Structure 1
Amino acid sequence: NMSAGRPFRGCACFFTDNIFVGRFGLHQTPCLPEVPPNKNNWFKTMSRFLELFCSALLISDSVLCCLFQIEAEVQRRKQLIHQSVERRAIISKCYKPKHPEVYTLQDSFLAPEFLEILRFCTSPGADLQGLLSYLESFSDKRIYRLPVFTEEFCHAFVDELENFEQSDMPKGRPNTMNNYGVLLNELGMDEPFLTPLRERLLPLTALLYPELGGACLDSHKAFVVKYSLHEDLDLSSHYDNAEVTLNVSLGKEFTEGNLYFGDFNQEPSAVPKFMEVEHVRGRGLLHRGGQIHGALPIASGQRWNLIVWMRSSAIRNQLCPMCRRKPELVEAEGFGDGFTEPLQEEVPPTVDVCALG
């Protein structure tokens, strides 16, 4: 995949920062921060780090467990590209879909209200206030709900996903926070389904999130997550590696498991205010990728959600949203993490992933 003729890349921080440690439900960066120009903030960070470290020393087995988990996760991340390419090749050759029609986006999959919203957004004079009259807004967090898919499509799509889950095909999981789910690029859905869906959303995101590159979201990472009893029940607080996220409830039948949203990660408050949002099958939530959020435990049934992290290279090329630094580019497969090489004659070499400590 290319953006204006430039291949997509990742940022080297993927191998050093934001390592999720399941035992504590926290993301860790296992290295001390460099001293930035604002030394006061650095000293606050260091004080907190030392406080946590000294507390952890009281339970050394937890410290060792944490370190082993971090190292294992770093090594796993270094193998991701190679393993993903292998899985996709096997799936493409050997897997027989139950519902092959769901792999290519069709208007019949989309809710009539969604198509009406698209018509408005592409009409002359379309503006934010007009668009908001079509959407359900939540507080002041710039979270919006809208119909996306029909009930019939949701049923067929989940049935297809369950068919894949029950097959003997190799399966890559979305991330370390979700142990159950499907990476949709490995099913071959990027070009025929997800890219057209992202492109159709651009008129909406251009009006809703102009400062986040809503008009030029040129790549994505998409996956489906599954929650059920005795599997993944909930999801810890986090923010997404995305400028804008689309989260669509696909079903099936379940109780509880609401999403909750806190602060925008770049605008933290002294006392964060959280709000809950219920899932509605076929409807999607649009929110800023940097919005802190999570999912409460499911009480019964199964919950499937389609997650699309939409990215703008024009925005993230300036500052990586995960490490908050100028991205240090590394080789990647497909859309990578949405970064692109700079437009200049002398392009600096990418980083050798295997050389990263």
Structure 2
Amino acid sequence: MSLDGARKPGAPDGRPDQAIAHANGGSTVQVLQNGASAAPPTYLTHRLRLNPNSDHRPDNYEDLDLEFSPSIFSSLERYLPPNLLQQARDVKVDYMREILRRYYPESERVRLQKHREYRQKIISNYQEKRSITAPSLSSQRLHLELYSMHPTNFFVPSFLKAINENTEQAFRNIMSEPSPGIFTFEMLQPRFCEMLLAEVKNFEKWVHETKFRIMRPNTMNKYGVVLDDFGMETMLEKLMVDFIRPISKVFFPGVGGSNLDTHHGFVLEYGIDRDVDLGFHVDDSEVTLNVCVSRQFSGGELFFRGVRCDKHVNTETHSEEIFDYSHVPGRAVLHCGRHRHGARATTSGKRINLVLWCRSSVFRESRKYQKDFSSWCAECQHEKKERQRLSVAAIKMVF
């Protein structure tokens, strides 16, 4: 559902993604042939192509110490202007970094660096072995298999079969689409859900005992944990790339589903002594995966109210956009991050959900150049049809 910076309709975007930045900071300076240095060109001259060069093979950036995730640079490279594609890697890095910095002013890059240090401190202390000198203050990871991807242990066979076939029909065979743009399907095995719940409980206990400060998933939730913060980043990255991106490429191509390159993964907790509900909002994601992992609860239904761009996020809901969804343990809900939604009150028990926000740097950059979002925003579609209707009516009046 939501996470780092879940956005209420009409409110500013929340905090930038924690997973997108890898930190180090500082800018490079171009050196001319005569040895003089030149300031890098202003970012106003930097923009991506709307359509990628599908035949181009991007460079690998894993060996560079970059302030942004190396995978983002590889993802963006196909969208560079043609004259840049054959340039040296450092030239392309400078160009793409200038684009990426539009998202993150200096203050945000400092905050992201601090968060990276916080995450590294957590992971270095929350390890597999208990401390001999202070066993009560060092917690053993309960289920090491959660920290790497084990598809046959995580997913139900029907989901794995569809992913292996990797066709639209295979995906539709396991999916329901109860409302346009909302897909539900069986995904997680009960054993995986049990292990995840136990690991989160163990981590929260360790945080309490060690008095570490825990960072919550977003600005709207007071309970829950960021899974990347205690070591699951690699597993969640594979979940996005190998299992969610193939589906998103088919069903969400218009909102960056083909180019998902960063994620934010977390668990949310709802109940009488936790967050009870969640207000109406849109996610800071291109595609959102939401899976219920608990069993004993009542209430907590999701309510959806249509997909909107920033301009139309507060517009009225059309009757055909109204849809409510009741959670089923292990069953996934996949939807566009811009699909307005919220969660009703959990009236008994505790509802716990695994949420993965998947983002596309390419889509976020290209969206800056576009004015017409009628391919995915329902209100843009309505306005476009109305303009066409008026145009036809005006032509008829002339003749």
User: TM-score, normalising length from structure 1?
Assistant: 0.65
Structure 2 residue runs of 5 or longer lacking an equivalent are 1-68, 75-92, 127-139, 372-399
Correspondence for 1:113 among 124, 147, 158: 158
CA distance in 2, matches of 1:303, 1:216: 31
Q: Which whole-Å CA distance do the structure 2 matches of 1:261 and 1:319 have between them? A: 23
- Give 1:83 deviation, angstroms: 4.2
Superposed CA offset, 1:104-158 (max 9, x none): 110111111110110231xxxx33x553232011222x10011221000100111
Q: Which secondary structure state, in structure 2, belongs to the residue aligned with residue 171 of structure 1?
A: coil
Amino acid of the structure 2 residue aligned with 1:117: A
Structure 1 counterpart of 2:335: 287
Q: Rate the CA distance shift 1:146–1:271 in 2: closer, same or farther, 3 A.
A: closer
Residue 93 of structure 1 and its aligned partner are, at CA, apart by 2.1
Identify the residue that residue 249 of structure 1 maps to in structure 2. Answer: 292
2:237 aligns to what?
A: 195
The 5 Å alignment of 1:121-160 reads: 121=166, 126-127=167-168, 129=169, 131-140=171-180, 142-160=181-199
CA distance in 1, matches of 2:110, 2:302: 31
Say if 1:130 and 1:89 are closer, same or farther in 2 by CA, change over 3 A: closer
Query: Which residue number in structure 1 is paired with residue 272 of structure 2?
Result: 229
Distance 1:244 1:14 in 2: 25
Residues 33-64 of structure 1 deviation map (CA, whole Å, 9 limit, x = unaligned): xxxxxxxxxxxxxxxxxxxxxxxxxxxxxxxx
Q: CA deviation at 1:13?
A: 8.3
Which structure dedicates a bigger proportion of its chain to helix?
2
Tell me if the contact between 1:91 and 1:170 (Cα under 8 Å) persists in the aligned partners: no
- Higher RCO structure, 1 or 2 (CA under 8 Å, sep 6+): 1
Aligned to 2:120: 89
CA distance, structure 1, for counterparts of residue 297 and residue 241 of structure 2: 31
Aligned equivalent of 2:359: 311
Counterparts of 1:251 and 1:80, CA distance in 2 = 33
CA root-mean-square deviation: 2.6
CA drift at 1:248: 1.0
* Residue 179 (str. 1) matches residue 210 (str. 2): no
Deviation per residue, 1:166-218 (Å, 9 max, x gap):
12343110111011111122112112x11111112222111111112222211
CA distance in 2, matches of 1:243, 1:102: 25
Q: Aligned pair in 2 of structure 1 residues 9, 110: CA closer, same or farther (>3 Å)?
A: farther
Shift of residue 272, structure 1, vs aligned partner: 3.9
> What is the count of residue pairs matched by the alignment?
255
1:291-335 CA distance string (max 9 Å, x none): 0001000011111111111111211112369xx9xxxxxxxxxxx
8 Å CA contact retained: 2:162, 2:170: no
CA spacing shift, 1:276–1:14, aligned 2, 3 Å: farther
Cα pair distance change 1:167/1:203, threshold 3 Å: same
Task: Give the structure 1 partner of residue 379 of structure 2.
Answer: none
User: Closer, same or farther in 2 for the Cα pair 1:14/1:179, shift >3 Å?
Assistant: farther
Worse overlay, 301-310 or 312-321: 312-321
Q: Report sequence identity in percent.
A: 31
2:343 maps to a residue whose letter is A
In terms of fraction of residues, the more strand-rich structure is 1
Task: Tell me, yes or no, if the aligned pair for 1:84 and 1:186 is still in contact at 8 Å.
Answer: no
2-structure distance, mates of 1:81, 1:88: 10
CA distance in 1, matches of 2:292, 2:261: 23
The 1:207/1:224 distance shift into structure 2, 3 A limit, reads same
Deviation at residue 270 of structure 1 after TM alignment: 3.7
For structure 1, which runs of at least 5 residues remain unmatched after alignment? Answer: 16-74, 325-357
Amino acid at match of 2:269: K
- Which SS does the other structure have where 1:281 is aligned? coil
Greater Rg, structure 1 or structure 2? 2
- Structure 1 residue 4 and structure 2 residue 73: aligned? yes
Could you tell me which amino acid in structure 1 is paired with residue 222 of structure 2?
Answer: N
